[in-house]
Amino acid sequence: TILERGVTLPALDVVIIRTDMFTSSAIIQIAGRVGRKTSNPTGSVICYNKGITKEMDLARKEIMSMNKLAKERGWLK
């Protein structure tokens, strides 16, 4: 869970193992570490779990909503 705490690394992909142990806000924080460098604005977030949890689904919907809003405001390309 170190990635929840504000670490920023270039060219980062993230794998969250046992995603069922995390709240949607924690998943969002971990996923938010990906693509934070302008030199590498993309990356992958992969969640490993036995199935899709309610928290995973909520996190995905919230991330998609925030990205849509950011694009509308011109913050993302």
DSSP at 2: G
10 Cβ contact list (under 8 Å, min separation 6):
37, 39, 40
Residue 55 has what pLDDT?
Answer: 96
The distance in angstroms from the start CA to the end CA of the chain is 29
Residue 3 has what pLDDT?
Answer: 59
Question: Which pLDDT tens digit goes with each residue over 1-56?
Answer: 565 566 777 888 999 999 999 999 999 988 988 888 878 888 899 999 999 999 99
Residue 2 has what pLDDT?
Answer: 61
Please name the amino acid found at residue 50: K
The answer, as to whether pTM is greater than 0.95, is no
Residue 15 has what pLDDT?
Answer: 93
